[in-house]
Amino acid sequence: MGSLTSEQIAQFEEEGYLLVRGLFSPEEDLDPIIEEYKGVLDSLARELHAKGEISSTHDDLPFGERLIRVYQESGKVHAQYFDFSLPQANVQPDTPFWAGPAVFAALRNERLLDAVESLIGPEIYSNPVQHVRMKPPERLTPRNEDGRVQLGKTPVHQDNGVVTEDADETQMLTVWFPLTRATVKHGCLSVWPGSHRKGLLDHCPTDIGLGIPGKLLGGSKAVALPMERGDALFMHKLTVHASFSNTSDEVRWSFDLRYNPIGQATGRSHFPGFVARSRQQPELELRDPTGWESLWRETRDHLATIEMGKFNRWNSDNPVCA
The yes-or-no verdict on residue 24 having pLDDT over 90 is yes
Average pLDDT over residues 182-203: 96
State residue 2's pLDDT score.
76
pTM of the entire predicted model: 0.96
Average pLDDT over residues 39-46: 98
The DSSP symbol for 248 reads S
- Report percent pLDDT > 70 for the chain: 100
- Give yes or no for a contact between 132 and 85, defined as CB atoms under 8 angstroms apart: no
Distances (CA, A) of 258 to 171, 174, 301: 10, 5, 24
Q: How far apart are alpha carbons 118 and 5 in whole angstroms?
A: 8
- Give yes or no for a contact between 179 and 255, defined as CB atoms under 8 angstroms apart: yes
Summarize pLDDT for 2-21 with one digit per residue, the tens: 799 999 999 999 999 999 99
Summarize pLDDT for 131-165 with one digit per residue, the tens: 999 999 999 898 888 878 778 889 999 999 999 99
Confidence band for 124, pLDDT divided at 50, 70 and 90: very high
Which residues does residue 254 pair with via DSSP β-bridges, in sequence order? Answer: 133, 178
State residue 51's pLDDT score.
97
The yes-or-no verdict on residue 53 having pLDDT over 80 is yes
- Give yes or no for a contact between 232 and 12, defined as CB atoms under 8 angstroms apart: no
Summarize pLDDT for 296-315 with one digit per residue, the tens: 999 999 999 998 888 889 98
Confidence band for 220, pLDDT divided at 50, 70 and 90: confident
- Structural fold of domain 6-307: Jelly Rolls (2.60.120)
Confidence band for 322, pLDDT divided at 50, 70 and 90: confident
Domain ranges of the chain: 6-307
Strand 204-206 relative to strand 252-261, pairing: unpaired
